[in-house]
Amino acid sequence: MDRQTFIENVSQRLNALGVAYTIGAGADIVINASFLTAGWSTGNKQISYEASTYLNETEKTVFMWELTKESGSGFSFGGSSETSFQTGKTLFRKVKSVQYGPDGKAYEIDLDLGAIPNAVKEAAKACGWKYKTVLNRNKAIYPAGMPVMTGQQPATPQYAPPSVQQPFAPQPPFQQPFVQQPPLQQPVNMPYNQAPAYPYANQPAPKKKMSGMSIFIFILLVAITAVLFIFGGASLLGLGIAAVILLIVFIILKALAGKGFIRNLILFIIALVVLFIAFAFATGNGHFNFSVTLDNGKPSIDKVGFAKSIDPNTMAPVDKVNGVFSQNDTTIYYVIKIYNTLAGTNLHVVWSYENGKSTIENDMPINQDLKGNYYSISIQAGPGAAFPIGKYSVTITGTKDNKELYTLTDNFSITK
């Protein structure tokens, strides 16, 4: 048996049931129909039924996909004739529709939804093919690259009114129980691999939307990043790294849409750790040495970083350097923040070259109370000279009344 014989067999059975269908619109047989539940009396309880069948000649199998949706609600008097139960993968349910007979009158048609897949199954068996119900609609539509075959016009079902049925009579305005079915679609003449009339063929997946939790997490990360990099005085390189990290987090949050709170929380924690590492790198000298000083009332000191120049009024770094200078730089500034340090405190500064091969020491007395102020120290090359290439360090020790308050060491280097 060939595909054409199968399609004709199914068409005859669907015509007998009074079900509208389309041939060749992305699949061998496509059904898009609306019904009313059999027990409906008042209200608007509608059943939408969609189906697609595809004959796979290689596997000698007819694949069928179904989707049933119910919308609206209603109630009936004297009991409802609606029945619904599941058997295998086919839903059996009594429904009603309105069709027109050769005399032009509308007639009420009773139908069991389970009769539709049964019709396809019986047609497959009659043609010597296997039958299989699938949950993925892509398995019941034409695959890409299928040889061209002209679609056919489905025969228009005609419904002769049985003697036991009465012509459909319109109800009063407040009680209009049946909805007239739309006319059958026009003939489809197109290749199998071109079927825009079928709504599910090659249909892109719906775009994922970020949940409220994901949006909140992203905004919180942006706010934390702004606080760290604006008030921490990070370089433009650090800001660029943070922007890349936030972009990656945004993409992952979109991918995790609808995946639950726990995954979003784990991503937030990981992103926060990475941002802190990036901040440490952007504000330090490249050795990931990051510290946060809490104002607990005790004297303390905190690193800000190296710079080529500073603000003469605030001593804040202007042209920050990530711990690497060239021989063209004749002045090296090192900026710190000093907390809860009283006037009279002495800062002992030691500049060291190649682990003590050469050192320069000097004392810098503090003549006013400092509470979170910037403080800078510097070293200059001699006139017409340049710093030797190599590794350097600077150590700052604060003392008052011969008691050490704090000490800090940082490293930098000179290149060509």
Q: Are residues 109 and 196 in the same domain?
A: yes
For residue 28, the one-letter residue type is D
| Within-domain flag for 241 | yes
Residues 306-311: what's their mean pLDDT? Answer: 94
The last residue of a domain, from among 203, 223, 255: 203
| Within-domain flag for 290 | no
The last residue of a domain, from among 147, 169, 203: 203
Question: Which comes out higher in pLDDT, residue 272 or 169?
Answer: 272
DSSP state of 286: S
Q: Which helix or strand (DSSP H or E) is residue 314 part of?
A: none
Q: Are residues 10 and 131 in the same domain?
A: yes
Predicted pLDDT at 63: 93
| Within-domain flag for 291 | no
Q: Are residues 183 and 43 in the same domain?
A: yes
Other beta carbons within 10 angstroms of residue 222's beta carbon come to 15
Percent of the chain with pLDDT over 70: 65
Residue closest to 55 by CA, chosen among 89, 29, 31: 29
Question: Which comes out higher in pLDDT, residue 284 or 408?
Answer: 408
Residues 203-215: what's their mean pLDDT? Answer: 66
pLDDT digits over 178-190, tens only?
Answer: 444 454 444 444 4
For residue 324, the one-letter residue type is V
Residues 174-179: what's their mean pLDDT? Answer: 43
Q: Are residues 113 and 177 in the same domain?
A: yes
| Within-domain flag for 266 | yes
| Within-domain flag for 289 | no
| Within-domain flag for 324 | yes
| Within-domain flag for 224 | yes
pLDDT digits over 92-147, tens only?
Answer: 556 666 555 555 555 566 777 788 888 899 988 888 889 998 988 888 898 877 75
| Within-domain flag for 407 | yes
Residue closest to 376 by CA, chosen among 233, 240, 227, 238: 233
Above 70 in pLDDT, residue 240?
yes
Can you give the CATH number for the domain in which 307 is found? 2.60.40.10
Q: Are residues 256 and 197 in the same domain?
A: no
Q: Are residues 45 and 156 in the same domain?
A: yes
Q: Are residues 224 and 116 in the same domain?
A: no
pLDDT digits over 317-341, tens only?
Answer: 998 998 999 999 999 999 999 999 9
The last residue of a domain, from among 142, 173, 203: 203
Q: What's the number of domains the chain is made of?
A: 3
pLDDT digits over 149-158, tens only?
Answer: 444 445 445 4
Predicted pLDDT at 147: 57
Q: Are residues 270 and 196 in the same domain?
A: no
Predicted pLDDT at 191: 44
Query: What is the gyration radius of the CA atoms in the chain, in angstroms?
Result: 40
Other beta carbons within 10 angstroms of residue 29's beta carbon come to 28
Q: Are residues 350 and 264 in the same domain?
A: no
Residues 203-230: what's their mean pLDDT? Answer: 75
Write out the residue range of the structural domain in which residue 373 sits: 300-415
Predicted pLDDT at 326: 95
Distance CA 196, CA 203 (A): 9
pLDDT, averaged across the chain:
75
Residue closest to 142 by CA, chosen among 23, 245, 226, 236: 23
Q: Are residues 44 and 153 in the same domain?
A: yes
Look up the pTM and report it. Answer: 0.36
Predicted pLDDT at 234: 57
pLDDT digits over 42-97, tens only?
Answer: 445 677 888 999 988 888 899 999 888 876 544 333 333 444 433 335 455 566 66
Other beta carbons within 10 angstroms of residue 57's beta carbon come to 10
CA 176 vs CA 171, 173, 179, 232: distances in Å: 5, 6, 8, 71
Q: Are residues 347 and 232 in the same domain?
A: no
Beta bridge partners of 23: 29
Residue closest to 350 by CA, chosen among 340, 361, 339: 361
Identify whether the C-beta of residue 318 lies closer than 8 Å to the C-beta of residue 281.
no
Predicted pLDDT at 208: 59
Residue with tokens 């090359």: 381
DSSP state of 196: T
Q: Are residues 198 and 216 in the same domain?
A: no
Predicted pLDDT at 37: 67
